[in-house]
Chains A and B, each alone.
Chain A
Amino acid sequence: QVQLQESGPGLVKPSETLSLTCDVSGYSITSGYYWGWIRQPPGRDLEWIGSVHHSGGTSDNPPLKSRVTISVDTSKNQFSLKLRSVTAADTAVYSCARHGPTILDPFDSWGQGTLVIVSS
């Protein structure tokens, strides 16, 4: 059974870069599927950030695209999110998840989520 676990700093200063990693166990990233990041700011809706394929191909949500880098490390069976130039509006619970074989598939497994606060 696939399991996903987010890790990274819980506090990031404004204008800095938010960096999170999602460790995948019970399934090899190279076996296929897309892997995504979703966030939920306090009191607001879930927002898809972007997704990556094990080949390295990515797709990002346009409002965040200029600040987002999602990458995969097949040797560690993990994928990562970098969000640059953060502001308080980027405070949210960040979750990683697995899609199906294509990016237009639902998320069939999710991590617990990790709260990241942007504050000086």
Chain B
Amino acid sequence: DFQMTQSPSSLSASVGDRVTITCQATQDIDKYLSWYQQKPGRAPKLLIYDASNLETGVPSRFSGSGSGTDFTFTISSLQPEDIGTYYCQQYDHLPLTFGGGTKVEFK
């Protein structure tokens, strides 16, 4: 399987901070990585697909980059509504696999 290692597992930041999350694949997945946001009690929401493409309607403060095995997700200026858990997922090979999640909290 293509294992996804996400870090950090949690972080605390202030409003306006730049937040960066990384996701590393055990094998080359080209650009086939997505990022999701999940708020407590809510369904996950697709934010980024194909490593760097913003899903329609997602604010431009969210961005993604990378290819191959190393990927980065960035929130350029953290907003109060961005609190939640973020997951990466590879869809280059079956079985589909997810990262362990990063919980983003306010300081």
A contact residues vs B (CB 8 Å cutoff) = 4, 36, 38, 45-48, 59, 61-62, 95, 97, 103-113
- B6-52 contacts to A, CB under 8 A, are 32, 34, 36, 41-46, 49
Query: Nearest residue in B to A64 (C-beta to C-beta)?
Result: B95
Interface residues on B, range: 20 to 34
B46 touches A46 (CB 8 A): no
Candidate in A4, A105, A107, A110 with the most chain B CB atoms within 10 angstroms:
A107
B46 to nearest A CB, angstroms?
Answer: 5
Known pairs A104-B32, A104-B94 / 10 extra A-B pairs, C-beta < 8 Å: A45-B101, A46-B89, A48-B95, A59-B94, A62-B95, A104-B91, A104-B92, A104-B93, A106-B91, A112-B43
Q: Is B82 close to A, CB under 8 A?
A: no
Q: Is the CB of A106 within 8 A of B34?
A: yes
